[in-house]
Each structure stands twice: as C-alpha cells, then as structure tokens.
Amino acid sequence: MKVYFDNAATTPLDPEVFEVMKPLMLDMYGNPSSTHAHGREVRTKIEYARRTVAELLNTVPAEIFFTSGGTEADNTAINGMVNAYDVKHIITTSIEHHAVGHTVDKLVELGKVKASYVELDAQGHLNMDHLEELLKNNPNSLVTIMHANNEIGTKNDIEKIGEMATEYGATFHSDTVQTMGHFKHDLKSLNCQFVVGAAHKFHGPKGVGFLRVCNSRKIGRFIEGGGQERNRRGGTENVYGIVGLAKALELAYSHMDEHRSHVQSLKDRMIEKLKANFSDIQFNGDINPESSLYTVLNVSFPPHENNGMLLFSLDINGISASGGSACSSGANTGSHVLNGIKADPNRQGIRFSFSKYSTAEEVDYTVEKLVEILSPVAV
C-alpha cells in the first residue's frame, strides 16, 4: 500500500482544478498585459479569479495580490511594513514558519528592527498576557504570528490577537498558509492587515499564492519590473496557477464541513490506535479539535533503537510522512518548533498530515507498520 501523510507539506492536485487550468495551458496563451483579444481573454480570467478569492474571504478584489506562494507573501508583508512605515519592532514567536522567522532574523541582523518573542506553553499556545505587555511597551510594532503551526498543529486565536494589536496601534500579519482552505476567514471582521495563502496546501497547483493587503496599509512594490498586479509585482502572471488557485479555494469552501468531518475522524482514529498500541506515546502540540489543525498530528514515540531510522522505515513500507526532533546536541539543531516547546530531545517526532483523499485503511496500515517497526509494549 502507498500512503501519503505529508499533506501539510503539499497536497495532491484536485482533478477539477486541473480541468480549469488546462485551457490556459493549451489554448488561452495570450499575455494578460497585451491589449489585443488574446491578451484581454486571459486578463479576464485573472480578474475573475481575484474576485472569486476576494468574495470567499469577504474582502474586496483590490486587496488581493497574487504571488509565487506563501514564502513570497510573508516576505513581502514583513519587509513591506518595515520599509513603508519605518517599523522598528517586531513581535513574533520562536515557532513561526521559516518564511517568517528567517525574514525577521535577517531584519534584526541588518539592524533595521528589534524583535520580541511571545512566551509559549508546552503545547505552543501564546501567553496572551505577555503579548499584551509587549504591545504596551512597544508602540508601532508589527505583530507576525501564524494562525496554526505547520509542524504541531496548534492553532492561535487570531481574532483575539487582532483585537489586541488594534487596541495598541500595532499592525498584524498572520501566516495563514496552513488554515487557508481548511477554515473560513472573514477578512472584513478580522483585525488582520496581512493574510497569506498558498494554493498547493488546499489541492491547488504549486508555485502560486496570494497576499491580502488591507487597504489601510500601502506598501511598496514587491518586485521591480512591469506594471502587473496593479503596479505592485512586476512579471508576467502565472495565469493557469492563479485560475487553479481560485478554483481550489472555491472547492475547499464548498465542501469544507464534510472534509473537516472526514479528516478529523481520521486524526481521532490515529490518536486512539496509537494510544492503544504504545504505552508511552506523546503528542506534540494541542490535539483538541477546537484549538488545533484537524489536518496535522505530531507524535513523539518512546525511545527505541529504531527511532533514528523511523522515517526511512516508514518510507520503505510505502508511507510518506515528515519528522524531526528537538535539539539533542550542538551538532543537531533539530526542529525549531519542537525546540520552541521544549519537547523531549530523546524522542523522534513524526508529523502525519491528512487530506480529503486520506482513508481509514491508510491510518490502520500506518499504525500496523509502526507497531512492527518499533515493537511497542501494548497497554
């Protein structure tokens, strides 16, 4: 059996998405910046996609800018705010995606900003009192905190964070890559000036994403060049990617409740089967359905001689997952997320991430193979 449990890294392309992309690949090949009929036809497709995304997120098309993916969108939001508004202080966490964390590190290294890190508990939840203290003491800050963690699945209350940021005059950017297409976002009611999406996380194509820039924030050009994306991002648009993104998000919103129910049932099934077969299992991050990603389950297995080869052993058995461990030596930096929540460095962490295409049979097979590999003691 072949099992794909690495959907937090990327998801399979939905066939319906591919079908709407095909005409743009084969027949509608005009440059959308051209004024002739071939170009106008393609321009119409881009603007329809922009309107679709905006309507689904309850915002206006003028706030949606298409990018090459989540990393570019995160970089653009953070660097754009620092450059356009002379931001000198960033409030973030130690467990952000590298698209955010490394961007902040670089700005600190260049002496452009100072950074403060919100305290976290053992599940990766924010200390909201500490966040408020940082906001009080650092006016005109940029808050950059993700909606849900890509490794451990812990979800942040971005509604509350946004309200707090607004109260203290801060700007809020949230990396929403892992929740976009899996949870509904109402941007008119959310006090978050920058949100991010990447199509390949919700069964769209790779190499395309978007950045929502609230009309109250005017940041500079993302990429120098032509006048594309309303003179903000130079370069000929990835037309079939953009059209595919909009279709994928539309499908995700149309079937969100049923997909969430299905995927949550798989996650619950794996949790129960792992508990039944391993006497000393640990789950990294929050596994409460109300405060975690239903698509992600991060597990630390008891110390075992096969821990170091666990991902390889799973791969040999046809199971694709991802993993990491907390730092156990100076030579092994480990997962910055597991380090950030002070996970046990002697345990191998594995992230299983599910999608609408995952099945109960795949969960059962995976647990069965884990039992064989690790030879656990039954409870």
Catalytic residues: 327
Residue 12 DSSP class? P
- Supply φ then ψ for residue 184, to 5 degrees: -80, 140
Within 8 A by CB and 6+ apart from 16, the residues are 247, 251
Comparing C-alpha atoms, which of 238, 188, 172 is closest to residue 209?
Answer: 238
298 bridge partner residues: 284, 351
Residue 376 DSSP class? P
* CA–CA gap between residue 255 and residue 165 (Å, rounded): 32
Cα-to-chain-centroid distance, residue 173: 13
Residue whose token pair is 């100076």: 330
3-state secondary structure of 72: helix
Within 8 A by CB and 6+ apart from 370, the residues are 274, 277, 278, 301, 314
What tokens does 352 get?
A: 């299983």
Per DSSP (E only), the strands in 59-126 are 64-67, 89-92, 114-117
Phi-psi region of 375 (alpha: psi -120 to 50; beta: other; left: phi over 0): left
CB 74 within 8 A of CB 175: yes
* CA–CA gap between residue 50 and residue 47 (Å, rounded): 5
